[in-house]
Amino acid sequence: MNHQCVVIVGSQWGDEGKGKIVDVLAERVDIVARYQGGANAGHTVHVGDEEFVLHQIPSGILHPERRCLLGNGVVLDPFQFFEELDALTARGLDAEPRVGVSGRAHLLLPYHKILDRAAEERRGAGKIGTTGRGIGPAYEDKVARQGIRVADLRDLVGAEERLRAAAARVNERLIGQGSSERVDADRLVSDVLAIRERLYGLSTETGRVIHDALREGKRVLLEGAQGALLDVDHGTYPFVTSSNTTSGGAALGVGIGPTAIDAVVGVVKAYTTRVGAGPLPTEFPSPMQEHMRELGGEYGATTGRPRRCGWFDAVVVRYAARVNGLTGLAVTKLDVLDTLEELQIATGYRVGGEILDEFPGDLGLLEEAEPVYETLPGWQTSTADARRWDDLPAAAQAYLRRLEELTGAPIWFVSVGTRRDQIIHVEV
Ligand code: IMP
Per-residue pLDDT of the chain (428 residues; tens, 9 = 90+): 789 999 999 999 999 999 999 999 999 999 999 999 999 988 888 888 888 889 999 989 999 889 999 999 999 999 999 999 999 999 999 999 999 999 999 999 999 999 999 999 999 999 999 999 999 999 999 999 999 999 999 999 999 999 999 999 999 999 999 899 999 999 999 999 999 999 999 999 999 999 999 999 999 999 999 999 999 999 999 999 999 999 999 999 999 999 999 999 999 999 999 998 999 999 999 999 999 999 999 998 778 899 999 999 999 999 999 999 999 999 999 999 999 999 999 999 999 999 998 999 999 999 999 999 999 999 999 999 999 999 999 999 999 999 999 999 999 999 999 999 999 999 65
* Burial class, 140, CB count within 10 angstroms (exposed 0-12 / middle 13-18 / buried 19+): middle
Q: How far is the CA of 79 from the centre of ligand 1 (A)?
A: 20
pLDDT of residue 42: 85
With a 6 A CB cut-off, is 40 part of the ligand 1 pocket? yes
With a 6 A CB cut-off, is 167 part of the ligand 1 pocket? no
With a 6 A CB cut-off, is 41 part of the ligand 1 pocket? yes
Neighbours of 191 (CB within 10 A): 16
pLDDT of residue 43: 83
Q: Are 331 and 415 in contact (CB under 8 A)?
A: yes
pLDDT of residue 59: 87
* Residue whose CB lies within 8 A of the most ligand 1 atoms, among 18, 20, 40, 234, for a mutation test: 40
pLDDT of residue 196: 97
Cα dihedral sign for 378, 383, 384, 387?
A: negative
The SS3 assignment for 98 reads helix
Q: How far is the CA of 264 from the centre of ligand 1 (A)?
A: 22
Domains of the chain: 5-96+205-425 (3.90.170.10), 106-203 (1.10.300.10)
pLDDT of residue 1: 76
Q: How far is the CA of 234 from the centre of ligand 1 (A)?
A: 15
Q: Record the pTM.
A: 0.96
* Burial class, 325, CB count within 10 angstroms (exposed 0-12 / middle 13-18 / buried 19+): middle
- Whether a cis peptide bond, with omega within 30° of 0, leads into 285 is no
Q: Are 62 and 19 in contact (CB under 8 A)?
A: no
CA 5 – CA 254 distance, rounded (Å): 12
pLDDT of residue 48: 84
With a 6 A CB cut-off, is 42 part of the ligand 1 pocket? yes
Q: How far is the CA of 40 from the centre of ligand 1 (A)?
A: 6
pLDDT of residue 32: 97
Cα dihedral sign for 32, 37, 39, 41?
A: negative
With a 6 A CB cut-off, is 207 part of the ligand 1 pocket? no
Q: Of how many residues is the chain composed?
A: 428
| Per annotation, catalytic residue among 23, 30, 43, 335 | 43
15 is catalytic: yes
